[in-house]
Amino acid sequence: MKKMSKVVTIRIITALMLVSLTLVGSDCEDIINQINTGNCSNPQFTGDWTYIYNAGTLRDICPGEKVSFPSSTGGTATLTCPNQTPLQRLYTVSGNVLTYTETSTEYNISYDEACNLVLTGINNARILYYSSTISDKTGENVVSDKNAVYYNSSEIKK
């Protein structure tokens, strides 16, 4: 009789362990899905961003531009086009609007599902995507022409 109760006890414990593993596994899966889908419930504007894509009609930003925003309210941004001297620009952020104060270039700030920073031009025809992570696709969707004149995102084409 004792042997039978041990077998039953082991089966019950095994069944409970299997049930608990499915519950624990689903929590891990939810966390992994949040990471993979880029849950941007609290995106951070401050930091370093690399230009990865232009969805607007004005495609004049230098491929691979890097922008550093030290504050979420304003300050001095550093914009760097590859193989060029970094450029300092004063900026302000009011609500979801970024304004480069020296050039009056304005963008609406948003984020896509991959947590990329999306700057949509208010007084220009740009829709710029920036990644906070290093990507080997930098500038992939930008038409590159040796004779083209490229600007940084703080300037309006004249």
Q: Does residue 26 or residue 73 have the better pLDDT?
A: 73
Using CA atoms, how far apart are residues 126 and 153, in angstroms rounded to an integer? 9
Fold of domain 47-131? Lipocalin (2.40.128)
pLDDT digits over 106-153, tens only?
A: 999 999 988 999 999 999 999 999 999 754 444 444 344 444 556 677
Domain ranges of the chain: 1-37, 47-131
Q: Does residue 59 or residue 119 have the better pLDDT?
A: 119
Using CA atoms, how far apart are residues 63 and 52, in angstroms rounded to an integer? 8
What 8-state DSSP symbol labels residue 153?
T
